[in-house]
Amino acid sequence: MSRKSPLGTLVALGGGDDDAMLAMLTDMLPAPTATVEIVTTASSNPGRSSRGYQDSLHDLGCRSVHHLRIDERHAADTEENLRRLERAAMVFFTGGDQERITEFWQKTRALAVLADRYRHDAAFIVAGTSAGAAVLPDCMIVEGHGARSLTKGGLRTAPGLGLLGEVYLDQHFAERGRFGRLAHAVVQHPTRLGLGLGQETGIIVRGGQEAEVFGDGVVMVVDGQHLRGSNLGRIGRGEPVAGQDLRVHVLVSSQRLDLHSRQVVANQ
């Protein structure tokens, strides 16, 4: 992506019940007639997933909600899909398997259109929950379980969609005990800021600069810019990972984090 800050808005939820998030997103749309595209690429049951979100958004007053299906049976780069992405007010990625999203979206014209809208259209919203949130940055955590995630080889990352640079978004964070794998990811790449999103909790990123927390739980921030003592270059596979001076914040609803300075922004 360009180094210039994007004009659009990014919304990421850590999974779980997303009714409150959908109500918030509805309020962020410019009008009830604004077009919402539901992307179910990650889902194992795309029809059911789309119907659930369409019904919920219709109940909230959205009049133009559609299923944008891109997967092994539906190519990304059809002219219809590109037109729909050009016209959408919001594109929402559902949960499931985030590697399916990158499999069918990376290196496509569809992703180029999505990224261009996000960069240049201040009214455009890209949102995602669970896997649909984790995939939004330039890199994502795709594997790492329990104590094994703090051993060399116990973590696997992969390229994401690239809408948010130098950040990891990990989902279902507190509920699934994922601090270890996020800490390992930051030790491995200390220039990237780790954000662990609890369920029913997420962030709104406006202009690529400031992340505001929303929801009932917490967002844990793991900052490795002052990291020292990493042993990753000296240990073998299966040995425990070490590092000192990781900085951790625990943030709750309405608190804000400057993603560039990595400082918590004082509420006015």
User: pLDDT, tens digit, for every residue of 128-141?
Assistant: 999 999 999 999 99
Instruction: Assign 147 a pLDDT band (cuts: 50, 70, 90).
Output: confident
| Angle at CA of residue 97, ends 225 and 17, nearest 5° | 85
- 174-209 tens-digit pLDDT: 999 999 999 999 999 999 999 999 999 999 999 999
**Is residue 30's pLDDT more than 70?**
yes
Which whole number is the average pLDDT over 98-103? 98
For residue 233, name the pLDDT band (cuts at 50, 70, 90). very high
| Structure tokens, 178 | 């994922």
**Structure pTM?**
0.95
pLDDT attached to residue 133: 98
Which pLDDT band, with edges at 50, 70 and 90, does 266 fall under?
confident
Tell whether the model's pLDDT for residue 2 goes beyond 70.
Answer: no
Q: Tell me, what's the pLDDT at 3?
A: 59
